[in-house]
Structures are given as C-alpha cells and as structure tokens.
Amino acid sequence: MSNRIMVGKSQARPRRVPHIAEIGLRDIPTAVESWRLAFENDPLHWYMREGKRPSRGWQFVEGLYMRWFLFVWRRRNIMLVVEHGQSYVRATIPEHRPISIIDLILDWTVAVITWTLDSVRSAEIKKRRKEILGKLASANERLYGDRVKNMVHIDGLATSPRGQGRGHAGALLDAVTAKADAASRATYLESSNVANTGFYESHGFRTVGEIVCGDDNPAWKEPPVVVKLMVREDES
C-alpha cells in the first residue's frame, strides 16, 4: 500500500527544514524588529509598559539600545537566526574561562546605557521591574540553587509575525537544547505567555514553578501576569 498522502491532485509536501545560522552583523536590525513585533502584545511586556504603547521616539531609542546589546551579546553567548533574523534565539552558556578586557569594556557600556535608560523611566515602571526581577531571582534560587551555574538559559526566542507558523522557533530551540545535551547540561527558561506552554512542552520542557506579577499592585487593573518557569533535562 502506498504511504503517500494526497491533497487534491498534488502530494502534500513535508515542511522545509529552516536554515539556522549564527547571527551576523547585518542580521541584527532584522532581529531587533522581530523582537519588537513578537513581544508587542506579550503579557509581561505589557505589564512592564503600564499597559501603554511606547512612543515612536522611545521605540527608536530602544531599538538602538537593542542593536548594541545584541552586538555585545553575540561575542560570548549563543545567538542563532533563521532568515537573517526573522526568527532568533538567545541563550547563555555557563562560562568557565577568563573574560577579555574588550568584553569587560563592552559589558560596561551595556550596563551604563541600561542604567541611563532605566533612570528616565517612570517610578511605576521601576517598581514593576524590581518586582519581576526579584520574584524571578527568588524562584530560580528556590528551584535550581547552585545547579543553575551549570545550566543553559534561554534568554529570548522570537519570530516576527509574518514568519510564524513555519517551525522556525522550534528549530532554533532544538538547536540550543542539542548544544546543551552535547555538554550534558539542562536548559531552563521563563515563559512570559502561558499560551506558549504547550509549545515548550512539545520540545521537552516541563513546568517546575511560576511567578505571578501584578497581583498585589493596585495600579494594575488587568489580570495578574503568570510567568511559567520551565526546564528541560539533559537528554544525552
């Protein structure tokens, strides 16, 4: 018996495997725009922005900052892309080697720019940022302890709306977890949208905890934001 599945008069074609590459300098602007569009309505980002759309001026400044951040990031961490940044993943691998003077200087520039941008944010946004970072740090310490020092962290995964539904994000995620498996390391992440839980589960992650943001903030009139903490154990 034939195992071909026919759709009308033509054979259904398997999904094309996306080409994954390390990010290049020319890919950075596209990756930044993909990040902006992908997280435009993200629940946690919406909470961080006080439920408001950023002005064009702020978007421009934030875009410049992200370009520099990714330029620095790519020197020591994993950053992979599909279609020159239409989809990307950022991940941190534990470092056990000396950091060069150049990297220290570049890290310093990112820290200074980050501090400068944070200094002009509203008091409410500063409060929410402190809340999120504090709850994440506490939860990660409770869940992973010292083990976190040897785990791979997914820092960001995004696909521009026009590139979604083509398997790009899944392929990028699998590429990182394959690197983690090769090094006998577990991988962990924070999912800021509960709608994505099933996606991560389909790639071997499981929920081990969660934090809730905005639940005790009287200035936040929308439902509290749930952030899932997920881990994928080494499968080597």
Report the 10 Å Cβ neighbour count for 223: 11
Q: By the 8 A CB rule, do 79 and 28 touch?
A: no
| Residue ranges covered by each domain of the chain | 18-232
d(C-alpha 9, C-alpha 166), whole Å: 23
Cβ burial 44-68 (10 Å sphere, 16+ → b, else e): bbbbbbeeeeeeeeeeeeeeebbee
**The two structure tokens encoding residue 203:** 């790639």
Q: Is 111 exposed, middle or buried (0-12, 13-18, 19+ CB in 10 A)?
A: exposed
Q: Give the Cα separation of 88 and 173 in Å (integer).
A: 9
pLDDT at 52: 84
CA 214 to mean position of chain CA atoms: 21
What number does CATH give the domain 18-232?
A: 3.40.630.30
Threshold 0.85, pTM exceeds: yes
Q: What is the pLDDT of residue 99?
A: 82
Q: Which helix (H) or strand (E) holds 125?
A: helix 123-144
Pair 171, 20: CB distance under 8 Å: yes
For tokens 């006998």, name the residue.
184
pLDDT tens profile 113-126: 999 999 989 999 99
Hey, what are 178's tokens? 């394959």
Q: Is the pLDDT of residue 29 over 70?
A: yes
End-to-end alpha-carbon separation of the chain, Å? 37
pLDDT in tens, 135-191: 999 999 999 999 999 999 999 999 999 888 889 999 999 999 999 999 999 999 999
